[in-house]
Structure 1
């Protein structure tokens, strides 16, 4: 029996060594074009998947979400599960053929008989296929503005480019978001482009839950950066408000050096045109919910919503954050000294989930500004010791 185990271990070891030292090149599926995501990032050199650790091997070889990390600082995304990609191909065939049971050969399609800009417009409005939706008052005008942003600089003259964007709108609108909004202003991952059925974005750091054991001041700095992003998505664009509908630690990464967080998944968002009509939407709080329960229609029809604030407070920062967030939320285990110096801190954290009528008049915007200012003051009084980030 021991010999069998030894042989098995040896086989596993050989397999691991082979994986570690043999470059694995992703399949970009360029042959699918023009019904792909584009060809503006087809690398002129080899792009290999990162296999430097057991975690890398598991993530890259058994990637349920079809998201891969590379050896040169890129994250490659197929934008959907395998079943989603198969559904996308079926929908492309249905769109172009009246007899859907016929074999679908993309090469046979007459690309000039279809108004793909109009089809892109329809998908962004109706959101039948994924979680990316433009909504609110004057939605058609809103989509026109976004499409003009997305199609710059050629203005939609390149038919192939418009087809690529239409295909993306079927599977996952994340690249549309990257093209429409400024990466530096919103602290987005750099979008490098697409090659076939993969997009390439910047690798921005480690998953938020990797910072569970970092000292409280480090986590406070991370929390402030997340608060800043939530407010910027809500109010930081001239024309639109951006509401995140899938806030979880899996979709937030942190730079290990700066402790600055970034959201890295924008496949599930609502984009709402700013309005002069005063209609503030307040998210309902469901204490026992493990997912964010919200009315999409109420968010879309408001002039402004506290949706982003509630999302990060309830599901990331506060002690009520459910799994898969770290136990106790991002600001767990407040040090005794800081708690004594700031006796209202725990209440401020709670208030951004469920505002206090006396302290905040039931307003989450007021609650989050108070919490952010409190964290700013604490970090000003207690500089972070960067040599001991992981010591509580």
Structure 2
């Protein structure tokens, strides 16, 4: 009886796989034209694909010129939009080229799944109009993101506390650092919030509330020795960061000596984030193999997903 049941289950499983493969083939055949066009055109120059039309309900525009000039392009199968269905995290690999430096690999992130981004749009619209759909550009000016206008001098803890893990228990020193290091403005370097344009303030606050990873990378940059991937820039709802290397899970079967070295580096990262000269303690709230990568040349472990980082000011 059990043998018969297992045979039936195995047969059903095979039929299921065949049905899935057939369905995928049908979808590909029905979308043959769009498949070829995906390979032929560079969608990273499309303003709507980048959601640039939704700004200031976006993450910035510092790299828009590079996107529009065609300096970034998806790699290989990454050009195939049909595969976005399986790319839940909305993380893409691309080539970025400079005339004198050649091309190099970068990572592009939308900072959330399509569902999460859709929910963000709905929340903005509901707060502004009471309806789930609206003109996002106009709606942003009627939300809390626009409440801090040019008359507000500083970004203070009472305004943003609890918006995300980054500001779970913020100090004024941390918020001044976020504003001063904000890379999506031409006039960075000042901790005064009023020095930012209205659109820049809204973008900063939206990023802080939705996914503060760009702000973590900007405020604690790799150039200063912090173990994070380097932030490059943004255009609309697409953020570019430096490609580090293979994720940590790919070293499961590495030689014992290599695994010991990686484990030791992880402990050193924990120590550095907790005890450093800047007197900020950073706590990773989402520790998984996917959130770390290893440099192919120096073998250095780097944090590549900094969405869930809590920062405590040890001077506060």
Whether TM exceeds 0.5 here: the answer is yes
Q: 1:18 to 1:108 in 2, by over 3 A?
A: closer
Gaps of 5+ in 1: 277-392
Equivalent position to 2:298, from 239, 258, 275:
258
Distance of 2:132 and 2:226 partners within structure 1 = 45
Distance of 1:123 and 1:264 partners within structure 2 = 28
SS of the residue corresponding to residue 232 of structure 1 reads helix
Q: Deviations over 1:353-372 (max 9, x none)?
A: xxxxxxxxxxxxxxxxxxxx
Q: 1:146 corresponds to which residue?
A: 177
Paired positions, count? 259
1:244 aligns with 2:262: no
Structure possessing the higher relative contact order (Cα contacts under 8 Å, 6 or more residues apart): 2
Equivalent position to 1:204, from 237, 240, 244:
244
| Structural RMSD (CA) | 3.4
Contact 2:248 2:290 (8 Å CA) reproduced:
yes
Q: 2:43 corresponds to which residue?
A: 25
Gaps of 5+ in 2: 1-21, 97-104, 183-187
Q: CA deviation at 1:240?
A: 1.1
Contact 2:126 2:132 (8 Å CA) reproduced:
no
Q: Deviations over 1:315-367 (max 9, x none)?
A: xxxxxxxxxxxxxxxxxxxxxxxxxxxxxxxxxxxxxxxxxxxxxxxxxxxxx
Deviates more, 1:188-197 or 1:19-28: 19-28
User: TM-score w.r.t. structure 1 length?
Assistant: 0.57
What is the 5 A alignment of 1:109-188? 109=139, 111=141, 114-115=147-148, 121=157, 124-127=160-163, 130-135=164-169, 139-151=170-182, 152-154=188-190, 155-156=192-193, 157-159=195-197, 160-184=199-223, 185-188=225-228
1:50 aligns with 2:75: yes
SS of the residue corresponding to residue 71 of structure 1 reads strand
Q: 1:257 to 1:266 in 2, by over 3 A?
A: same
Q: 1:177 to 1:79 in 2, by over 3 A?
A: same
Q: 1:223 corresponds to which residue?
A: 263
Distance of 2:115 and 2:140 partners within structure 1 = 26
What is the 5 A alignment of 1:349-388? none
Deviates more, 1:163-172 or 1:80-89: 80-89
Equivalent position to 1:68, from 71, 85, 92:
92
Q: Deviations over 1:251-284 (max 9, x none)?
A: 01111222211111111111101048xxxxxxxx
Distance of 1:93 and 1:268 partners within structure 2 = 26
What is the 5 A alignment of 1:225-304? 225-275=265-315
User: TM-score w.r.t. structure 2 length?
Assistant: 0.70
**Whose radius of gyration is greater, 1 or 2?**
1
Contact 1:120 1:165 (8 Å CA) reproduced:
no
Q: CA deviation at 1:173?
A: 0.7
1:38 aligns with 2:78: no
Q: CA deviation at 1:202?
A: 0.5
